């Protein structure tokens, strides 16, 4: 199909039974893929060994996106708690749920930078319907992308000019932050694109449109080791070069919520798409975070 996929690649459906699949992350120690089934308020886990899926936890306060921190622990977003939290063995520790004394909207997706800071989006999807959370008032009057410095307990808005920021990911050198705006979902005249921002001293500047999605919307996405952006859309995986040029369309029969690289060598692309979890073998992988800025780990937790 493409040099970006393994020569014998084919799309596998691993599981069906979710209402809206989101938030995938590969857990190396468990050789498992964990993801959210947001409307059913539960977390699923696919174990590659044995090819089996289990319900990992239920009544989870509508978790959404998740990632691993520098220690390999799961950091995830909760619509119900309106928080970013750390999870271990079903135990949840809220890391941050307020900015300037006001509650966050409903954190959606999260990444951890090489220096350990936690970056997340905060659109309203978990407080505007009962399907993905609970109806509640927005408190701070915007939908920002935040950077959370856990060591200092500091929460800083880094992107404030988007309507509904949703997925996010860094370029391999962390000099660019990509953020999707999915406001098209609520207002069809609004955005369904991925924006790029230059990251300078922890601030996001020079925001510009990186890629448009014309079928569905770009909910979650990942960046591979060569800096290519692998995005969700309504009709498959869309891959873009670092300059925004479209490179590949991998058709998937369901609307995709999010995706991530995983598997023992990191070259399997796991795709959380509405009712199902899919997998396809690629010829690339996520850029190992520890390789991005090795010196940045000095002094971080």
Pair type for strands 145-149 and 154-159: antiparallel
Residue closer to Mg ion, measured from CB, 9 or 182:
182
Question: Smallest distance from the beta carbon of 175 to Mg ion, in angstroms?
Answer: 23
Nearer to Mg ion, 132 or 150 (CB): 132
* Closer of 53 and 258 to Mg ion (Cβ): 258
Which of residues 134 and 297 has its CB atom nearest to Mg ion in the complex?
A: 134
Q: Among the candidate windows 74-82, 103-111, 265-273, 284-292, which touches Mg ion by CB under 5 A?
A: 103-111
Burial label, 60 (beta-carbon count in 10 A; 0-12, 13-18, 19+): buried
Give 9 or 273: the residue with its C-beta nearer to Mg ion.
Answer: 273
Q: Which is nearer to Mg ion, 109 or 224 (CB)?
A: 109
For residue 166, state whether it binds Mg ion (rule: CB under 5 A): yes
In the complex, the smallest distance separating the C-beta of residue 166 from Mg ion, rounded to whole angstroms, is: 5
Residue with smaller CB distance to Mg ion, 115 or 219? 219
CB of 69 within 8 A of CB of 86?
Answer: yes
Q: Which string of b and e fits 74-110 if b means at least 16 CB within 10 Å?
A: bbbbbbbbbbbbbbeeeebeebbeebeeebbbbbbbb
- By CB under 5 A, tell whether 108 contacts Mg ion: yes
- Fill in the per-residue mask, 198 to 237: x = in contact with Mg ion (CB under 5 A), - = not in contact: ---------------------xx-----------------
Determine, following the binding rule CB under 5 A, whether residue 85 of this chain makes contact with Mg ion. Answer: no
Nearer to Mg ion by Cβ, of 51 and 187: the residue is 187
**Cα separation of 194 and 213, whole Å?**
8
Q: How far is the CB of 117 from Mg ion (least distance, A)?
A: 20
Stretch that binds Mg ion, among 40-48, 53-61, 166-174, 293-301 (CB under 5 A): 166-174
CB of 217 to Mg ion, least distance (A): 10
36 binds Mg ion (CB under 5 A): no
What is the spatial distance between Cα 32 and Cα 278, in angstroms, rounded to a whole number? Answer: 13
- Rounded to a whole number of angstroms, the minimum distance from the CB of residue 294 to Mg ion is 30
Rg of the chain over Cα atoms, rounded to whole angstroms, equals 17
The verdict on 122 binding Mg ion (CB under 5 A) reads no
Residues interacting with Mg ion, by CB under 5 A?
A: 108-109, 166, 219-220
């Amino acid at each position: 199909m493409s040099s970006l996929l393994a020569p014998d690649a084919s799309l596998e459906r691993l599981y069906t039974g979710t209402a809206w699949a989101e938030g995938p992350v590969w857990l190396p120690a468990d050789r498992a893929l964990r993801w959210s089934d947001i409307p059913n308020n539960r977390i699923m886990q696919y174990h590659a060994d044995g090819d089996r899926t289990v319900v990992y936890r239920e009544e989870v306060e509508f978790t959404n996106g998740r990632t691993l921190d520098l220690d390999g622990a799961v950091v995830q977003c909760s619509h119900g708690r309106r928080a970013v939290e750390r999870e271990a063995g079903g135990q949840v520790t809220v890391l941050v749920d307020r900015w300037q004394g006001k509650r966050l909207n409903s954190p959606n997706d999260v990444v951890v930078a090489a220096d350990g800071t936690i970056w997340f989006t905060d659109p309203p999807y978990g407080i505007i319907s009962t399907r993905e959370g609970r109806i509640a008032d927005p408190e701070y009057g915007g939908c920002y992308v935040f950077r959370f410095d856990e060591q200092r307990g500091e929460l800083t808005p880094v992107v404030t000019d988007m309507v509904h920021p949703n997925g996010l990911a860094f370029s391999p050198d962390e000099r660019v932050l990509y953020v999707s705006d999915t406001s098209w979902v609520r207002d069809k005249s609004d955005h369904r694109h991925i924006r790029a921002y230059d990251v300078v001293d922890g601030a996001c500047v020079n925001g510009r449109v990186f890629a448009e999605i014309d079928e569905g919307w770009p909910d979650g996405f990942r960046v591979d080791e060569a800096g290519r952006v692998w995005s969700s859309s309504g009709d498959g995986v869309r891959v873009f070069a670092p300059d925004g040029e479209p490179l590949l369309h991998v058709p998937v029969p369901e609307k995709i919520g999010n995706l991530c690289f995983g598997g023992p060598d990191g070259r399997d692309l796991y795709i959380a798409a509405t009712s199902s979890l899919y997998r396809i073998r690629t010829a690339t992988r996520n850029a190992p975070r520890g390789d991005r800025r090795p010196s940045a780990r000095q002094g971080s937790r």
